[in-house]
Amino acid sequence: MEVFTSYMTFNWVLILILLAFVIVLKITIFLDKKTIRRLYILAAAVFVLSIIVFIEFYLVEIGGYNTARATIIAIRYSATPLIIAFILYTLVHRARWYVLIPAAIFAVFNFISIFTGIVFSIGDDGEMVRGPLGYLPYIAAGLYSVALVYVLVRQSNKLATEIIPIAFLAFAFGSGLILPFLMGKEYSKVFCPTVAVAIFVYYVFLILQLTKKDPLTGLLNRQAYYAAIKNHKKDITGVVSIDMNGLKTINDNEGHIAGDQALITLADCFKKSISGRRLVYRIGGDEFIIVCRKTSEKELIELVDDIKTNVSETKYSCSVGYCYSSSDKETLEDMVKISDKMMYQDKAKYYKTTGIDRRKE
């Protein structure tokens, strides 16, 4: 009973955070079941790790049991990159299970170390000693943390509201690479709460972001578009209108899954092209618009060229129009009309060139 009380005192804040996390997961309606299931696994893994860490410190306190301690340290060292790898697997679109393989290989080294001391060993005085590969667990966790942050930034819409939470996640995991050298083994006591807070905060951010994102393409949605043109109307100097060519034909001949994949591919092309104060929105089935703030005419034309180049490397096509205005002569509504007109002219050229009957589209 005393040991249980000590554990609860030691980890009460962590337990509350994980409990809140599980409750929020239970009532969410925005995420798919697969992602929710993985987040449940993450919460369980952090909880189990907290028990392992507590047992490790308990064994240090009572002395002896060096083999048991070595096994627990191997588990703890292996858990850090595995948990970050699983976060990568959970949060990053299209991440596959094999992102966990390097973490599993690192774990093998940790468990071999129980017998060889290649990563760590426990001395006769009961103190842990780093082996030749003593920094491997930190290198593994660091590489996974960098990969996680990099991919999250790449798949984001480059908005401050998206980058700041990613920066928080980077700070949380970055502290995990620095604090062990400042705090020593005491850092183990705060690792689990650090991970729990990081994924819980990022999860809350993720839910907030989903309200303004298109669930299929990951682009900003129509609601976000209306908010942008309302809040930043004076800063908008250019718009780009985009409409996919042949989506109905793809849906009719290959099915809606193929049509969805076509839209996702085009969205990826647009994401590659935008940067800075240019944001792309999906405002209809196959309709997109890019809003450019404080962008020069040259930059706008370069953006359109980049989009056409990226799309030309796929098997799909789209019609593009744009409008630039550096003065108040044209309202935003006028700019969109001019851009749409150019886009429809481009679409007419597409139908004329391909010989496709426009009435069937």
Q: Examine the pLDDT at 360 and tell me if it is beyond 60.
A: no
Question: Which residues lie below 8 Å from residue 281, measured CB to CB, with a gap of 6+?
Answer: 219, 220, 221, 222, 224, 225, 228, 288, 289, 290, 291
Q: Examine the pLDDT at 94 and tell me if it is beyond 90.
A: no
SS3 state of residue 70: helix
Provide the pLDDT for residue 358.
Answer: 62
Which DSSP letter does residue 234 get?
Answer: G
Tokens of 32: 């798919």
Amino acid identity, position 82? L
Q: Which residue has the higher pLDDT, 186 or 152?
A: 152
For the chain, give the percent of residues with pLDDT over 70: 95
pTM (predicted TM-score) = 0.67
* DSSP structure string for 250-279: HHHHH-HHHHHHHHHHHHHHHHHH--TTEE
CA distance 270 to 288: 10
Q: Examine the pLDDT at 215 and tell me if it is beyond 90.
A: no
CA distance 33 to 25: 10
Max mean pLDDT range (30-34, 85-89, 241-245): 241-245
Q: Which residue has the higher pLDDT, 185 or 117?
A: 117
Amino acid identity, position 41? I
Cα angle: 32, vertex 35, 38; to 5 degrees = 145
Closest to 28 measured CA to CA, from 204, 214, 224, 221? 204
Q: Examine the pLDDT at 190 and tell me if it is beyond 60.
A: yes
User: Looking at residues 310-316, what average pLDDT do you find?
Assistant: 92
Please provide the average confidence, as pLDDT, over all residues in the chain: 86
- Torsion 26-28-32-34 (CA) sign: negative
Among 43-57, 178-192, 197-211, 212-226, the minimum mean pLDDT is found in 178-192
Provide the pLDDT for residue 357.
Answer: 64
Residues β-bridged to residue 245: 317
Q: How confident is the model at residue 152 (pLDDT cuts 50, 70, 90)?
A: confident
Among 149-163, 277-291, 309-323, the minimum mean pLDDT is found in 149-163
Closest to 239 measured CA to CA, from 322, 159, 319, 298? 322
Provide the pLDDT for residue 359.
Answer: 57
